[in-house]
Amino acid sequence: MATAFASLKLTAAKKTSQITPIQARRNKLCGRIAEQIALAKAKVDGTVFVAHRMRTVKDADGVRQTVQQTKRVKAWWFDVDGGKLALNVRYGARVLPLNSKNMTAIEIGSIKELVNVLTTVKEAVEGGELDAAMDAASGALRKGFGK
């Protein structure tokens, strides 16, 4: 008796279901940088940026529903002397050091350059340049839970 599978090449391959912790951290930080880019573009254009997130809540009858809520996005940049801006890169609540000398801010000439700088930072994160700093920040967070 011939089967339909006889003409196909079968294998015992399994799909990997998890990504590495390093890639998960990169994805998380790239998502936050994308929000900062959108916030910076809105600031340059003079519009309002509103980010949303999905939350599961119970209604009066006890039924769970997924609703969309606005989320507050704080700007990572701030004004410094002479009308320039400084940009911190944050992983959660922690400011990441950007080089081996523990420099934590990027100086930017004007708000118009901010989007280009954030795009460069995103490329650096995708390239793995901040992996050690993210690992240290997440390790410090995990230590806070241990007793």
Q: Write down the domain spans for the chain.
A: 21-48+74-145
Tokens of 70: 């606005």
- Segment 48-103, tens digit of pLDDT: 999 999 999 998 898 999 999 999 999 999 999 888 999 999 998 899 998 888 89
Decide if pLDDT at 139 tops 90.
Answer: no
Strand bridging mode 94-95 / 77-79: unpaired
Residue at 53: amino acid letter = R
Looking at residues 103-118, what average pLDDT do you find?
Answer: 92
CB 84 within 8 A of CB 108: yes
